[in-house]
Chains A and B, each alone.
Chain A
Amino acid sequence: MPLLSIRNLQTRFATDRGIVRAVNGVSFDLEEGEILGLVGESGSGKSVTALSIMRLVPEPPGKVTADAMTLEGTDLLRLNEAEVRAFRGSRMAMIFQDPMRSLNPVLTIGRQITEVLRRHQKLDGAAARRRAIELLETVGIPMAEKRLAAYPHQFSGGMRQRVMIAIALSCNPRLLIADEATTALDVTIQAQIIDLVKRLTRDRGTSVIWISHDLGVVAGLCDRVNVMYAGNVVESGPIRELFHRPSHGYTLGLMGSTPRVDGGARRLTPIEGVPPNLIDPTPLCPFLPRCRVSADACRTQAPVRRDFGAGHWAACLADLAK
């Protein structure tokens, strides 16, 4: 049984202009110890998918429905507020792009880590403190004992993100969701954090959903990738299959837009135009107006899912073998 199983997740927001379908029928499974990448542009539904799993979408104006959304067999959508709180932190945890916004500026780092331990693991003061030191050491913060008394502003961006990871890991969650967790960091610090995440999944068997717009980071970290566009997964596959045989016009577009540090002077082929509005979804492929490889069939019928084996599929009618 997969650790996390999602079928037909729909997340909508009521706005003055109409219902925004931010996530529109997402389905996927996440196995134990697996690192799944979610890639796509701003507004493709990556973050809202993550927030829906964490039950962090405010309702109203949001509305989250799914045929199934289970973590270790528990239906996440049937949990009441108290049960969700107990789940968050202990079974599933999330880290965000900007750690400064997730940390309380007027509380010490130590207080913020021990708070989680005391609440979820019912540790007493001294035990929580010992565990907090251990956690900071695990994520590579030197002089951890001294640092407990520091405030967030005294830490660099990379150190703050490490603190967030320490807090996220403090109760040994089975699922860790990282939303653009290294996007704001410098590359050398990003490399440290990715190294840390790899080590932690290997040592603890934690499953990870890694949301990023950076195909390079995903290529180096993830086992599998879901490419999202206009609120849905349009292509999914094991990392090597997806990168070597991209099979959706959008995936192809993303790769053509990405400059490579090891590449030559190849001119970039951008995706022209802008993402569609999510209020009146088209019955056709939502990427059609921007697609460079569309076929005649794309203009008359809805995209169908085509399977290529090894769990690699794409919802695309274009013939990319050409």
Chain B
Amino acid sequence: MSTLLEVEDLEVQFGRPGAPGTVKAVDGVTFKVERGRTLGLVGESGCGKSTTGYAILQLIRATAGRVMYDGTDLCQVDKRNLRRLRRKLQIIFQDAHASLNPRMPIGDLVGEALDIHGLFPGAKRTGRIRELLDMVGLAGHLIERYPHELSGGQAQRVAICRALAVEPELIVCDEPVSALDVSIQAQIVNLLQDLQERLGLTYIFISHDLSVVRHISDNVAVMYLGRIVEFAGKDEIYNAPAHPYTKSLMSAVPVPDPDIEAQRKRIILKGDLPNPADPPSGCRFRTRCPVALPQCAKIDPMQYPLEDGHWAKCILLAKNA
């Protein structure tokens, strides 16, 4: 198993450094993704998960840190080379309709991706477009249709098709199924899994829906106010969450079984996410944490290693705590 992507101390700051109201949307994020695997990035609105995804693809420039992709630091690559590398790095957004030009027929939307990178020119172009549409389960006759004629599920298939057209290695999926009905959501989740198996794709799957993330991911990183607070395999993160935030998050996810629901103990958090422009000192979760200690205000917790690459940032995990 080889590492495809390595993110180190990634930081994204919005606003003039030092000025009041600046927000560190991403603050020291570090993780690795193995080739052909899926990393789930979860957390509540405003935790910085999408910004992390955009910063990896250089759609937003990081203010510090490194994004090592196949041995190259993407943060240091110039514009021209970045364009070449973008062929390998693609993204799918939540609102597929908003990401498709309403004036372009589906065939051109997919063909545009080929043209930009000079793939399948001339006579082979149409054949390749049909092949790609077929790969994502869209009928060939849709080639002449426009985005407004598509359902939400079909539009998301076109967006996936555009991403696949350039034969990428890594796809950042930013809430790709959140706007879809469950029946359609399941179709897209299965499609993403099939494509991964067939093409050896690597995914960063960003979502607030922990059920979908558990289903599709190999590893899961939990973010809170710009930081990863826990990282683990998908089963450990649900069966043995270590960070108090992960625990409350997992306890809050509803399970479609009334008997299990009746037995469950929810850890209900107090209040809302603090103002990210003025985050709490020490551990950022302490203001909502049900088990916070006085020293949590002073100590910025380190990564406490648990088993099998599982780690969490909480001082309660210190051996002598």
Contact = CB atoms under 8 A, between A and B. Distances in A.
Interface of A: 41-42, 142, 156-159, 186-192, 195, 213-220, 239-240, 243-244, 253-263, 265, 267-272, 274
B177 to A, nearest CB: 10
Nearest to B185: A257
A48 B238 CA distance: 37
A261 B261 contact: no
A260 B212 CA distance: 7
B186 A255 contact: no
Interface SS majority for chain B = helix
A100 B163 CA distance: 34
Interface in B27-68: 44-45
Nearest to A40: B181
Contacts of B189: 259, 268
Interface SS majority for chain A = helix
Contact of A262 (B45, B185, B255, B262): B255
A268 B210 contact: no
A269 B186 contact: yes
B320 to A, nearest CB: 30
Interface residues of B, number: 43
B254 A219 contact: yes
A283 B248 CA distance: 48
A202 B258 CA distance: 18
A219 B186 contact: no
Contacts of B260: 219, 262
A240 B186 contact: no
Contacts of B248: 188
A113 B195 CA distance: 51
Contacts of A158: 272
A243 B253 contact: no
A157 B185 contact: no
Contacts of A261: 210-211, 214, 238, 250, 253, 255
A156 B260 CA distance: 31
Contact of A213 (B182, B211, B259): B182
A215 B183 contact: no
B256 A270 contact: no
Contact of A156 (B184, B269, B272): B272
B88 interface: no
B148 interface: no
A159 B268 contact: no
B252 A190 contact: yes
Interface string B176-215: 0000011111110110010000000000000010111011
Contacts of B185: 257, 270
A272 B214 contact: no
Contacts of B186: 256-259, 268-271
Contacts of A187: 44, 208, 210, 249, 252-254
Interface string B148-174: 000101000000000000000000000
A218 to B, nearest CB: 8
